[in-house]
Amino acid sequence: MQIEELLTFEEDHEMAEAIHELRKEGEQFLFWENAKRLVIAREIPHLLKNEETGYEEIMIHASQILGIKDRESYEKVDQRFNLTMY
């Protein structure tokens, strides 16, 4: 699965399943406090330098579909869908 495919999902459970698939393929996702959204780990070096990452639109869409807007909502979504897969 390609990260861009996240833009095609409109249901929270479908988005969570797609994130699980990407995690199985080695991608890492986490909540980024400054952006108030879910980020893919490959964004982090760019975010630390305040640079555009090329993933903003995708990850904003994923965050909106999942209802992630702050740390609390991220934790609830993570509990519901086990996004971190621990």
Q: Measure the CA–CA gap between 81 and 77, rounded to whole angstroms.
A: 6
Q: Look up residue 26 and give its two tokens.
A: 């080695």
Give yes or no for residue 83 having a pLDDT over 90: no
Give the DSSP H or E segment for 37: strand 37-40
Q: What are phi and psi of 30, to 5 degrees?
A: -155, 165
Q: Which residues are registered as beta bridge partners of 29?
A: 40
Q: What is the pLDDT of residues 41-70, one digit of tens each?
A: 999 999 999 999 999 999 999 999 999 999
- The mean pLDDT value of the chain amounts to 94
Crossing angle of helices 12-24 and 71-81, in 10° steps, is: 80
Domain count, the chain: 1
Q: What percent of the chain clears pLDDT 90, i.e. is strictly above it?
A: 95
Does some domain include residue 31? yes
**42 within some domain:** yes
**Range of 53's domain?**
3-81
